Structures are given as C-alpha cells and as structure tokens.
C-alpha cells in the first residue's frame, strides 16, 4: 500500500507529466513542473539556470518563495551549491551550518532550514538546478531525491520537445543541439516587468548579447532597529560588467526620489556599481546604434519619443480591461471621431472582452471656408437607449468633444461616457468629462499612432513630440493667440 506521501508524489509527477503532453509553452511547462514539485514537497521551490558565461545563475521559475528571498542577490555558480552543477544532488540539512550556500543569513531570515539541489541535465551537462527550500528541518530521503530528479528530467523533456529544431549532431553553424537547448532554456525567464521600457531594454541587451538579470537584489536602505523600512531594487544587473542599471520614467518627482535612494545606496554600499538611465538617455542610446524609435524618427523632425509602442500597448490593454469590466452586460457602442483615432480604436476594441458595436463619426474643423463645425459623417447605428462610449485620440481645448457630446446627448443614449488616449489638459478651454484616459500629455504638439501633422506621421508606431522647426507656427508661441487662432493652428481636416 502506498503511503500518503507516495500518493502525493505520484499525483504531482502525473500532473507535471501532463503539462509536457499539452500545448503549454516551455515557460508554462517549467512553471507547472516547479509548482508540482513545491506542492509535493510542501516547500518553496525554484528552477535556476546558468547564464551563457556559466558563472551566474538566473531564477527562471519559483513557487512559494518570497520576493525578498528571491532578490537576495546574484547567485555565483562557484558559491551557490556548486557541486550540483557537476551533476550531483546536494542535500543540506542545516543551512546555518553549511558553507555551500551563498547567502546563509538571508536564508535563515526567510525561515529556511534545509535545501535540496538537483541538477537539470541536457545531454550529460548540467544547465541549472531545481532547488527545494524547506522551512521544517529536513533529512531528505532517497524518495525525495528521486522525486525531484524525476521533475528535473521532466524539465529536460519539456525542453527537448519545445526547442525549435532537432538535427542529429551539429547544425550548419556547428552549434550542438545541447547548446541550442541550453540557450533556449536561458531565454525562459519568468520576468514580469514593472514597466514596458524595461522589457525594451531587456530586448536591447539580448540583441547585443549582454547577459542580464532582472531585479536580482534588493538593497536595504533604512532600518528601524532590526526592521528594514526602505529598500531599493535596481531594475537590472549586467553580470559581465558587474553593473546595476536603474531605468527612470519621465516623471520628475520619481526621478528626484530615485536620485535620493541612489545616493543612499552608494553611501551604504560603496563597492556596488550602479547607473541611472533616463528615458531620454535610453532613447539616445538606441538611436546611437541606429535602432529604437528615436533613430527611426530623427529624419522626420520628431524631437522626443513620448510613448513607445510597448508603452502604448500596455496602457491600451489596461484601459480595455477596465472598460470591459465596467461594460459587462451592457453591450456598448464605441464611437470614434475620425481620423486620428483609428490606431487607438483598433487596438482598444481588439483587447476588449465584452460584446460591443463599433461606429465612427467625422467632423469638419475650423477653416477659412467653413463658419461652423459640422458633422461630415454621421454614425450608422441608432444610439437611442444604448450605452455609448466616445473614443477620442486627443482632447486639447475640449471643443470638439463638447460639440460631439451635445450632439449625441440629444439622441437619448442610455449612457454616454468618454475614453481618450491622450489628455492635453494644460490647454483646456471647455471642461469636458473624461471617464477613461490613457496618458496626460504635456503642452506640445504630438504625432504618431494615428495623430498627424499635415497628414504626415500617422503611421509611426509610437507617439512623439514634433520638433520646433516642424511645429505649427501658432503652436510655438500660443500664449498670445486667440481661441480661433489656437484651434486653427492645431486643426486640420482629420
Ligand atoms: P480640441 O477640440 O481642441 O480638444 O482638439 C481635438 C482635436 O485636435 C484632436 O482630435 C486632434 O485632431 C487635434 N489635435 C489637438 N492637439 C493635437 C496634437 O498635439 N497633435 C495632433 N492633433 C492634435
């Protein structure tokens, strides 16, 4: 008769093996294997993988371990369970008494008593390990070692079945299957980026073959007695350069705060090399190598990239999620005002999860030959009794939106709300209600992602500020311009 523990082990192996025989991605399959191991062992588990230098270990998946513990610092292959990488299992019954672990005090603080490390092998070479962190002091048994070894083998099998090619010995470039698989495995990082620009930065690092680890270490900065009251976690660690990199957003308030933390970090940890990369520097860095949005835009008279394509997609996704939630069961009509809205509308509706209708309107703008704004293309759908959500590219003075809202209100919708991608609040003349806003933009002329200047720039994948030499003349010094002039300077037939 199998014991309760044996039954739990069989169940976990069955579940992990089922993940292999599914349409899961490599990352999903590895996450499942780690989770099943953690459940069976009733302990925290992580999968760590060698980087290409074979000197550092990168966390790929984990389950049941705190962020603080995971960010304890970079793991060096010669200091952290080194024998596992020679292909041997390592069982440490008492972490406080063992020199084979790299951060014993932090393990003790996290309440970890015992650790079991099992190698993950590809074609006879260790590429990483599965580690089990037990809070209860544990003398790991053969049964435990066998279970985790089976899970490590399942991880290797996941890799074999999900690596793009399976040529027998060597590829044309002379790269062996094992090397390819090891490289594929390194790509599997469970990174949830806090900001899209971090993801872009990671792609650039990959592009230049610079090894990186995302947020590997949190540095305590202030204490109240024994308790840490403030921490700083730099975004990246570049192992080859022994350099931490922190990316900053555009908000000055956050930059000032980061600068303060950096000064404190340098004071407390003088041996740590860290650099702060402003978004502007980052865009310039990319442009220098002829890539990135600024490089593409240079020739077009764009002075600054405000929101990259990744940032826009991220924000549009969040808006779609919020709107889908708010409109569940209400089947809204989403009405776009042509033409600047076409990119935003297309991306927004494609990320929405509730049933909806789409319609468009177009209006004429101020020009010498038209005395008043008018609708040049009306909606096709009847809004009477329907929930209507107006979708705008940018709200500037608010006059366009005010006109359209009044027009629609007179047609008895059940409700009327507004979603705008950009809000140029500094130039508002009419106070229009905005229910959903993508970004608040500065008082600058912006183009791209549907927005144009004299019909140019609509196809740029990002939103940028038009350089002063290209800017509409009235826009450059609009403090003295009349309302009509201000509008004329920004309005074009859309
Ligand atoms: P409003 O009526 O002043 O709020 O202007 C809204 C319209 O002006 C938008 O739908 C755009 O077509 C145009 N617009 C305002 N500011 C900009 C800008 O910075 N770039 C491109 N178009 C703009």
Domain boundaries, the chain: 4-172, 191-287, 302-487
Q: In the sheet where 243-247 sits, what is the strand order?
A: 213-214, 236-238, 243-247, 274-277
Q: Which residues pair with 319 in a beta bridge?
A: none
Candidate list 31, 144, 283, 396, residue with the active-site label: 396
Side by side, the strands of the sheet bearing 44-50 are: 75-76, 56-63, 44-50, 125-134, 114-122, 90-92
CATH class of 302-487: alpha beta
What's the CA-to-centroid distance between 373 and ligand 1, angstroms?
Answer: 14
Residue 264 has pLDDT above 90, yes or no: yes
Residue 423 Cα, ligand 1 centroid: separation in angstroms? 10
Q: Which amino acid residue places its CA nearest to atom 11 of ligand 1?
A: 394
> Are the CB atoms for 65 and 133 separated by under 8 Å?
yes
pLDDT (0 to 100) of residue 352: 95
Q: Look at residue 303 in the predicted model and tell me its pLDDT.
A: 77
Give 490 Cα–ligand 1 centroid separation in angstroms: 6
The sign of the dihedral angle between the CA atoms of 61, 62, 66, 68 is negative
Report the nearest-CA residue for atom 5 of ligand 1: 396
Name which residue sits closest to atom 3 of ligand 1, judged by CA.
397
Is residue 337's pLDDT more than 70? yes
Q: Which residues contact 279 (CB under 8 A, 6 or more apart)?
A: 197, 247, 248, 249, 250
CA nearest ligand 1 atom 22, residue? 451
Q: Which range among 66-70, 155-159, 414-418, 490-494 shows the weakest confidence by mean pLDDT?
A: 490-494
Examine the pLDDT at 371 and tell me if it is beyond 70: no
Q: What is the mean pLDDT of residues 4-27?
A: 90
Q: Are 4-172 and 302-487 equal in CATH topology?
A: no
Ligand 1 atom closest to the CA of 429, numbered from 1? 3
396, 398, 471, 474: residue to mutate for ligand 1 pocket, most atoms within 8 A of CB: 396
Structure-model confidence comparison of residues 343 and 59, the more confident one: 343
> Is 191-287 CATH 3.40.960.10?
yes
* pLDDT at residue 386 tops 90: yes
Ligand 1, residue 397: give the atom nearest the CA: 3
How many angstroms does the Cα of residue 395 sit away from the middle of ligand 1?
6
Q: Of 72, 22, 23, give the one whose Cα is nearest residue 44.
A: 72
Furthest CA-CA distance within the chain: 92
> What are the CA-CA distances from residue 206 to residues 26, 141, 162, 185 (Å)?
19, 41, 20, 14
Distance from the alpha carbon of residue 220 to the mean position of ligand 1, in angstroms: 46
Confidence of residue 74 (pLDDT cuts 50, 70, 90): confident
> What is the C-alpha to C-alpha distance for residues 322 and 343, in angstroms, rounded to an integer?
19
Least-confidence region, from 287-296, 349-358, 386-395 = 287-296
Distance of alpha carbon 261 from alpha carbon 271, whole angstroms = 16
Specify the pLDDT at position 342: 97
Residue 494 has pLDDT above 50, yes or no: no
- What angle is formed at CA 359 by the lines to CA 353 and CA 365, rounded to 5 degrees? 130
Could you give the CA distance from residue 58 to residue 216 in angstroms, rounded to a whole number? 9
CA distances (Å), origin 334, targets 164, 337, 412, 427 = 42, 10, 16, 26
Q: 167-190: per-residue pLDDT in tens?
A: 434 444 444 555 555 555 555 555
What band does 483 get if pLDDT is binned at 50, 70 and 90? Answer: very low
Q: What's the whole-number mean pLDDT along residues 428-445?
A: 92
| CA of 403, closest atom in ligand 1 | 2
pLDDT of 472 over the 90 cut: no
In this structure, the residue with its CA closest to atom 23 of ligand 1 is: 490
- The confidence band for 192, taking pLDDT boundaries of 50, 70 and 90, is confident
Of residues 202 and 297, the one with the higher pLDDT is 202
Give the pLDDT confidence score for residue 165 in this predicted structure: 46
State in Å: Cα 309 to ligand 1 middle: 20
Q: What is the pLDDT of residue 491?
A: 45
Active site residue 435: no
Pocket (CB within 6 angstroms of ligand 1): 340, 393-401, 424, 445-447, 451, 490-491, 494
Per residue in 106-136, pLDDT (tens digit) is 888 889 999 999 999 888 888 899 999 999 9
Residue 388 has pLDDT above 80, yes or no: yes
Q: How confident is the model at residue 393 (pLDDT cuts 50, 70, 90)?
A: very high
- Provide the pairing of β-strand 75-76 with 56-63: antiparallel
Q: Which residues are CB-contacts of 78 (< 8 A; sequence separation ≥ 6)?
A: 55
Closest-lying ligand 1 atom to the alpha carbon of residue 452: 21
Can you tell me the distance from the alpha carbon of 207 to that of 214, in angstroms, rounded to the nearest whole number? 16
Structure tokens at 479: 């403090």
The reply to whether CATH 3.20.20.70 applies to domain 4-172 is: no
Atom of ligand 1 nearest to the CA of 340: 12
pLDDT at position 447, please?
A: 93
How far apart, in whole angstroms, are the C-alpha atoms of residue 233 and residue 247?
11
Q: Is the pTM of this model over 0.85?
A: no
Using left for φ > 0, alpha for ψ between -120 and 50, and beta otherwise, residue 54 falls in left
If you take atom 15 of ligand 1, which residue's CA is the nearest one? 396
Higher-confidence position of 139 and 491: 139
């Amino acid at each position: 008769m199998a014991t309760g523990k044996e039954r739990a082990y069989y169940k976990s192996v069955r579940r992990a093996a089922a993940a292999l025989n599914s349409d899961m991605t490599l990352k999903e399959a590895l996450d499942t294997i780690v989770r099943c191991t953690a459940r069976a062992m009733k302990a925290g588990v992580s999968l760590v993988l060698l980087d290409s230098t074979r000197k550092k270990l990168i966390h790929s998946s984990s389950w049941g371990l705190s962020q603080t513990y995971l960010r304890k610092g970079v793991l060096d292959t010669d200091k952290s369970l080194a024998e596992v990488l020679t292909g041997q299992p390592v069982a440490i019954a008492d972490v406080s008494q063992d020199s084979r672990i790299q951060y014993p005090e932090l393990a003790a603080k996290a309440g970890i008593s015992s650790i079991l490390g099992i190698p993950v092998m590809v074609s006879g070479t260790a590429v990483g390990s599965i580690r089990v962190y037990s809070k209860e002091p544990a003398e790991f048994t053969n049964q435990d070692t066998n279970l985790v070894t089976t899970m490590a083998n399942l991880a290797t099998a996941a890799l074999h079945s999900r690596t793009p090619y399976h040529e027998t010995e060597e590829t044309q470039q002379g790269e062996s299957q094992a090397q390819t698989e090891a490289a594929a495995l390194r790509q599997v990082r469970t990174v949830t980026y806090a900001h899209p620009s971090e993801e872009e930065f990671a792609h650039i690092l990959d592009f230049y073959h610079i090894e990186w680890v995302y947020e590997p270490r949190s540095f305590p900065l202030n204490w109240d007695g024994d308790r840490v009251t403030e921490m700083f976690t730099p975004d990246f660690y570049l192992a080859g350069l022994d350099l931490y990199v922190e990316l900053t957003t555009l908000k000055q308030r956050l930059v000032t705060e980061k600068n303060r933390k950096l000064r404190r970090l340098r004071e407390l940890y003088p041996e740590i090399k860290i650099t702060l990369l402003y978004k502007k520097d980052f865009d310039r860095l990319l442009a220098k190598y002829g890539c990135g949005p600024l490089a593409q835009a240079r020739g077009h008279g764009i002075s600054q990239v405000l929101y990259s394509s990744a940032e826009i997609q991220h924000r549009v996704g969040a808006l779609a999620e919020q709107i889908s939630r708010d409109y569940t069961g209400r089947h809204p009509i989403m009405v776009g005002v042509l033409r600047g809205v076409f990119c935003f509308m297309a991306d927004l509706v494609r990320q929405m999860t509730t049933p909806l209708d789409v319609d468009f309107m177009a209006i004429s703008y101020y020009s010498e030959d038209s005395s008043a704004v008018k609708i040049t293309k009306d909606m096709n759908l009847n809004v009477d009794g329907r929930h209507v959500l107006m979708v705008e590219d940018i709200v500037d003075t608010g006059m366009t939106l005010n006109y359209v809202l009044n027009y629609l209100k007179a047609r008895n919708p059940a409700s009327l709300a507004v979603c705008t991608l950009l809000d140029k609040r500094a130039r508002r003349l009419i106070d229009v209600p905005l229910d959903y806003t993508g970004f608040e933009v500065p008082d600058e002329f912006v183009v791209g992602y549907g927005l144009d200047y004299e019909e140019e720039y609509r196809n740029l994948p990002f939103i940028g500020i038009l350089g002063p030499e290209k800017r509409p003349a009235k826009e450059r010094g609009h403090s003295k311009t009349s309302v009509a002039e201000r509008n004329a300077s920004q309005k074009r037939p859309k």
